[in-house]
Amino acid sequence: MEYTFSLLLQQAMTGLALGAIYVLSALGLSLIFGMLNIVSFAHGAFFMVGAYVGAAVLTQTGSFAVAVISAFAAGYVAGALSERLLVRRLYGQGINYPLLLTFGLAYVLVDVVRMIFGREGTTVATPAVLRGAIDLGFGTFPIYRVFLIAFTACILSITWFAIERTNWGLIIRAGSRDSSILRILGIDVSRVWLVTFGLGTALAALAGILAAPIRGANPEMGGSVLAEAFVVTVLGGMGSLAGTAMAGCLAGLVVSMTTLFAPEFADLSLYMLMAGVLLFSPNGLFARVRTA
């Protein structure tokens, strides 16, 4: 088979679109793990909840924009409730207990969705305005995937701005380094953690509804997403938004190019990339160093 330049470019574009989904999936996890030091095994489940809530709202309203906002809001509420009622009790008790708790929470969320929506899954239609393909010069590409790349870039920018350039972001970053100082300064740390956790799960839910027109929605969809999100988070460095963005794009490109030359290694390539990077940079590409 002939590997032309336009074929390689097309594959690279596919990789970038794939990377956008990886970045969206991992962003919330990176926020939760980086800022709160919690390994959330329920992240894939919140992704799935977002897809289902969005699908249900889309069916009722016919508006994809309303569905996206609803999914984000539902993810936030679900995450905030989980943090307030469950996760909060395990702060300061190491990494294992929250991991186990969120692992169980994932099973509960999946079964609740099965009971409400059934087991067979559902589809989410691509919005009419984003259907079709665009000619990029080297080949046609679905408009929705171009939208995904652009939307992911916007979400990344907004999240970066919020974390790095706002007072609220400053509080979160300070708290992730030393929460006791925050308390001394009279800041309600528990409220900060609630908002951070909620935003992390909201981002997962947002990723879910945005991925749903491509992947559909089914109760088991969070499983593979969780693995991908963890790989990208670890690859990029815990808590680093720049790292998540770079790692997601890199992962998408590596998987896409591997698929072109050796498709049977497509799945494996993601983990081999992670292993390779960690050998040389154990904290990931852009690790955020903790002082406390």
Residue holding tokens 């794009």? 249
Question: Which residue, 169 or 216, is less far from another protein as judged by CB?
Answer: 216
Taking the complex as a whole, how short is the minimal distance between the CB of residue 289 and another protein, in angstroms? 33
Q: How far is the CB of 111 from another protein (least distance, A)?
A: 10
Are 184 and 62 in contact, with CB atoms under 8 Å apart? no
- First-to-last C-alpha distance (Å) of the chain: 55
| CA 199 to chain CA centroid, nearest Å | 11
For residues 156-169, one letter each, b for 16 or more C-beta atoms within 10 angstroms of the residue's C-beta and e for the rest, the string is beebeeebeeeeeb
Which is closer to another protein, CB of 88 or CB of 114? 114
Q: Which is nearer to another protein, 174 or 214 (CB)?
A: 214
Report whether 74 contacts 49 (CB < 8 A).
Answer: yes
Answer whether 114's CB lies under 8 Å from 219's CB.
Answer: yes
Residues that bind another protein (CB under 8 A): 1-2, 4, 7, 10-11, 14-15, 17-18, 21, 118-123, 126, 133, 139-140, 142, 144-145, 211, 214-216, 218, 220-221, 224-225, 255-256, 259-260, 263-264, 266-267
- In angstroms, what is the minimal distance from the CB of 162 to another protein? 29
User: Which class for 55: exposed (0-12), middle (13-18), buried (19 or more C-beta within 10 A)?
Assistant: buried
Q: Give the bridge partners for 122, in sequence order.
A: 217
Q: Minimum CB separation from another protein for residue 44, in Å? A: 11
Q: Give the nearest distance from C-beta 283 to another protein in angstroms.
A: 28
Cβ atoms 43, 229 nearer than 8 A:
yes
Q: How far is the CB of 151 from another protein (least distance, A)?
A: 16
Least separation in angstroms between CB 17 and another protein? 7
Tell which phi-psi region holds residue 267, choosing left (phi > 0), alpha (psi between -120 and 50) or beta: alpha
Spatial separation of the C-alpha atoms in residues 270 and 251, rounded to whole Å: 6
Let me know if 51 is exposed, middle or buried by CB neighbors in 10 A (0-12, 13-18, 19+): buried
CB nearer to another protein: give 128 or 289.
Answer: 128
Which is closer to another protein, CB of 125 or CB of 181? 125
Residue nearer to another protein on the CB measure, 144 or 193: 144
Q: What count of other Cβ atoms lies within 10 Å of the Cβ of residue 89? A: 11
Shortest CB 18 distance to another protein, Å: 6
Give the nearer residue to another protein in terms of CB position, either 163 or 251.
251
Smaller CB separation from another protein, 214 or 287: 214
